[in-house]
Each structure stands twice: as structure tokens, then as C-alpha cells.
Amino acid sequence: MGRRRKKYKKVVRRRRRIPTVFQCPACGSRNLTIKFERGSYSGEEVGGTPKKVAVIRCGNCGLCYRMVVPSIYEAVDVYNKFVDLYMENKMEQLEPCTSSDKSGEEVVESE
């Protein structure tokens, strides 16, 4: 007695979670967040490829860059590209964030 035979398979639902916090290449802490600005990119569209602007920000060391990426990019894609650029010292290709204080409101610059 006492031998329970419960044979049922646990259905593990694997929800594909896309990580949004990454390790910062500058300071090494896991405080790097990548967010997307919507409708803020008004540059040229090459071949009609939709683009979007990713904002890469480190909550620890204050690193913050904006990067124009294809709209199909996910945060992890942006991160990979960002790290590549960082390792190759090509950060000047990226646009540094102008204001670090406001996180909710994005300043729309007009020429």
C-alpha cells in the first residue's frame, strides 16, 4: 500500500520568453535594457524595409545608445549587433542618447 502510481505527464508549457535584460559590455552588470521606440524613425527606407529605433540603456553605468534596426529585429538581435559594434569599437556609428533623465518621454528632434 501506499504505492501510488500516478502516471501522467506533466505538460510543460514552454513560453518563449524573449529576454529583455542583458549583460552590459561596458560594465559587465546585467542591467542593460533594450526598448523600441515606435514611429520615431523617419529616415529613408531602403527598398521599403521598415525600420525601428532601439534604445539600448544600461541602468548601472548609464550607457545609452540609439540604434536603427530593421523592424523584424528583436531585443536579442539588437543586443548581438550592439555587442559586435562595441567590441569592434564602432560605437560612433550609434547615436548616443541625448537626455538620460527622461525615460518616459522621448524628445522628437526636428531639423
Residues lying near Zn ion in the complex (CB under 5 A) are found at: 24, 26-27, 58, 60-61, 63
C-alpha cell at 42: 523617419
Q: Given the complex with Zn ion, which of 26 and 83 has the nearer CB atom? A: 26
Q: How far is the CB of 19 from Zn ion (least distance, A)?
A: 16
Q: What φ, ψ does residue 43 adopt, rounded to 5°?
A: -80, -170
Task: Specify the residue for cell string 510543460.
Answer: 12
d(CA 65, CA 78): 11
Strand partners, 51: 70
Q: How far is the CB of 103 from Zn ion (least distance, A)?
A: 16
Asked if residue 85 lies in contact with residue 58, where contact means CB atoms within 8 angstroms, the answer is no
Q: How far is the CB of 62 from Zn ion (least distance, A)?
A: 7
Q: Given the complex with Zn ion, which of 20 and 42 has the nearer CB atom? A: 20
Q: Given the complex with Zn ion, which of 23 and 40 has the nearer CB atom? A: 23
Q: How far is the CB of 4 from Zn ion (least distance, A)?
A: 51
Task: Specify the residue for cell string 535584460.
Answer: 21
Q: Given the complex with Zn ion, which of 52 and 57 has the nearer CB atom? A: 57
